[in-house]
Amino acid sequence: MRHSYFRALENLTHSTKLPLPEVIDQLAFNSDGLMPVITQDAETLEVLMLAWMNKESLQKTLDKGRMIYWSRSRQEFWEKGATSGHIQELVNMSFDCDGDAILCKVIQTGAACHTGRKDCFYLKVKPDNKIEISGNPA
């Protein structure tokens, strides 16, 4: 059971090293073979977007050093910036304590959102329970 693998890691000390292939094999991809990826600006720590990866896109990202997601709508690999030039260079990748989510810190070139905005979270809930749009589309 994958959960027990990550539970066993809880008591390991700081700087313990584990083989990456072993950890990847224990990740809890969903029934579609996907896992959510939170992408964060490595310098500002701003959350840029949420996307999805399968095991192969995760490995492609590590191999290339650029973010390569799985497009659920197109059912194909999606290299961020391949057509727009708004690439995301991988700085580091982390897995959460349950092995069911990925956090990637990146150097973002251009906009992260397909709308041309800096990030995908531009619909801001305000105290008056209204939504405020931040940023301008491309």
Say which DSSP state 37 is in: E
**Distance (Å, whole) CA 132 – CA 135:** 10
- Annotated binding residue 25: no
Burial 92-120 (b: 16+ CB within 10 A, else e): ebebeeebbbbebbbebeebbbeeebbbb
- Annotated binding residue 104: no
- Annotated binding residue 119: no
H/E segment holding residue 137: none
Q: Which of these, 115, 112, 95, 111, lies nearest to 103 by C-alpha position?
A: 95
Can you say which residues are annotated as belonging to the binding site for Zn(2+)?
97, 113, 120
Q: Which residues are annotated as a binding site?
A: 96-98, 100, 113, 120
* Residue numbers belonging to the annotated binding site for Mg(2+): 96, 98, 100
